[in-house]
Structure formats: C-alpha cells, structure tokens
Amino acid sequence: MNKRSLAIMAAIMESTIYGLNHTIAKAVMPEYVKPFGFIFLRVTGAAILFWLVSLWFPKEKIANSDWPRLIAATVCGMVINMLLFFKGLSLSTPINSSVIMTISPILVLLLSSYLLKERITLLKVIGIIISLSGALILILFSAEQKYNAPNIPLGNLLFLINAFSFGIYLILVKPLAAKYHPITLMKWLFLCSFLINFPITFWEFRQIEWESMPPAIWGSIAFVILGTTFSTYLLNIFAIKQLAASTLSSFIYLQPLIAIVFSVAVGADQLNLLKIVAGSLIFLGVYLVTKKKTVTGS
C-alpha cells in the first residue's frame, strides 16, 4: 500500500474518531468536567504521551526560523480550536457541532487561495454564500433547550470560529509536517499548547470532583485523551504529509454522518427540519466549492 493510500486511511480514521467525539465528549460536560478543565486533561495527557513516545524516535531540533510558525499553529490548532470547540459543545448539541464543522474546507479554500494568490470562481463564491447561509440558520434559529444545550446559538457561533481556527492550523502546519517527523512536531506543539492553555484551563481542572465520576465517564475521558487528542492529531499530521490541506479538510464530511447516527442512536440528540435544511445548505455549498480541485495546499 502506497503512502497516499495510508494517508487517506489515516484521514478516514481521524474523521471517524472525531465523529464519535461529538457525542462522547458532550456526555462529560459540564456535569462532570467543565469544558476548559477538559482541555487541560486533553492537552496535558497528550503532551505526556507524545514526549514518552518520542523517547523511541530519533531526536530532531526545531529550527529557530520555524518557531514562529509552530507557535502560531499551536494557538490556532490546540488553543483556540480546542477551547472554543469544547465550550461550544457544552452549550450546543452534537449534531450542530458536526454539521457546522463541515464549513472548515471552505475556510481552508479561502485561506489557501489568499495565501497562494489564486482566483476563486463565481461558482465557488455562490457555494460559500450557500454554505454560510446554512451555518447562520443553525446559529440564529436553533433555540431548543433540550439535550443539555443551554445556549445553542452561542455554541454554534463558537463552532464556526473553531472551524475557521482549525482551517488556519492546517495551512500553518503543512510546511512543518513536510520537514519534521510527526512525533517531533506533536511533542513540541503539545508542550507549547500546555504552556499556553495552563493559565486558562487550570482553574476548571481544579474543580473536578473525581470521586463522583461513574466508570462510563472515566471511559469517555480516556477516549477523548487517547483517541480524540493523541491519535487524531498524530493521524492528522501523518495524513497532511501526503495530502494537500484542502484535500485533507474534505474528509470532515464524514463527521456529520458518523455523529448523527451515533448521537441519535444513544439518544444524545435528534434530527429536526431546521437541522436538515441547514445541513443540506452547508453540504450543497461545500459541494459547489470543492467540485473542481483548484488548491494544492501550502
């Protein structure tokens, strides 16, 4: 099997884990762990794991010229991205989060086109407008207060900002992924993430009442640390070595399918007409934007 095929398999596995995460992480917040406290667990756990694993890999030094890009990638992919996604998930629903995240490829296209000075066609502009309309419908008109979702419009807005931040991360990390071993890159990204997130997240981490957690919640936390954080970021950095940022971001379309089936199956969310209409607009817009590949990544 060639490297590109392996990269595609890694991207599929990454999206599958993320699709499950929308519901699994939601079950933990905010009753057992508040969102920022959860980020402390994610970042600290992943940083420890990556540094331990790095003991079995060759040592690489990050060039001084690459540190600004690495820190910027950390801020976008492991600070803003994580904080806003988990905060939004604590306020909104798993289906909303998975649907709005599909707008990320459009944001990657816009960013890549801007950085590469490539022209965006009229068809893509129409697609962007349609997709953003769907996202805005979810943000402005989702008002139900079910399924532990106290502020759905605000949560959905945070998802949109989160998707934009993750799009920037994919653009920034691409050159670094081509230059360094995935383990080297991840251990430094997560160490920087730990240092930046610490003052923001430690207070909520201290509020966790460990003795009151049932075994299922412990399992969910372990899944988020080992699966959603350690495994997905490693799979992502492996995949982006072989795939363009815009190509990799398109695998996010698997997330809503997995998230919807799983969340409805376990009773964590439900489909309604608003979500179907908004989701259809987002998917139509994304289809128009990605109909013809014009971006090769950076």
**Continuous H helices in 2-141:** 3-28, 35-53, 67-74, 81-91, 94-100, 104-116, 122-141
d(CA 235, CA 183): 11
End-to-end Cα separation, the chain, in angstroms: 25
Please state the separation of Cα 244 from the chain's center in Å.
Answer: 17
Q: What is residue 298's predicted lDDT score, i.e. its pLDDT? A: 31
Domain boundaries of the chain, sorted by first residue: 3-290
Q: What is residue 295's predicted lDDT score, i.e. its pLDDT? A: 36
d(CA 183, CA 179): 12
Cβ neighbours of 54 (radius 10 Å) = 17
Q: What is residue 268's predicted lDDT score, i.e. its pLDDT? A: 65
Amino acid at 53: V
Q: What is residue 187's predicted lDDT score, i.e. its pLDDT? A: 94
Q: What is the pLDDT of residues 209-260, one digit of tens each?
A: 998 899 999 999 999 999 988 998 888 888 887 777 666 766 776 677 677 7
Give the relative orientation of helices 35-53 and 81-91 as an angle to the nearest 10 degrees. 140
Q: What is residue 296's predicted lDDT score, i.e. its pLDDT? A: 36
Q: What is residue 36's predicted lDDT score, i.e. its pLDDT? A: 95
- Our CA angle for 136, 138, 139, nearest 5°, is 60
- Kindly give the confidence (pLDDT) of every residue in the chain, 298 residues in length, as a single tens digit, with 9 standing for 90 and above: 678 788 888 888 988 898 888 888 888 888 899 999 999 999 999 999 999 999 998 889 999 999 999 999 999 999 999 999 999 988 888 777 777 777 777 777 777 676 655 566 777 777 767 866 776 676 566 555 455 677 888 888 898 898 888 888 888 888 898 899 889 999 999 999 999 999 999 999 999 999 889 999 999 999 999 998 899 888 888 888 777 766 676 677 667 767 777 877 777 667 677 777 877 887 777 667 656 554 333 3
At 62 the three-state DSSP class reads coil
DSSP 144-167: ---SS-S-HHHHHHHHHHHHHHHH
Residue 236's Cβ-side half-sphere holds a number of Cα atoms within 13 Å equal to 30
Q: What is residue 294's predicted lDDT score, i.e. its pLDDT? A: 40
Encoded tokens for 105: 């490829």
Q: Which residues of 113-139 are buried (b: 16+ CB within 10 A; e: fewer)?
A: beeeeeebeeebeebbebbbebbebbb
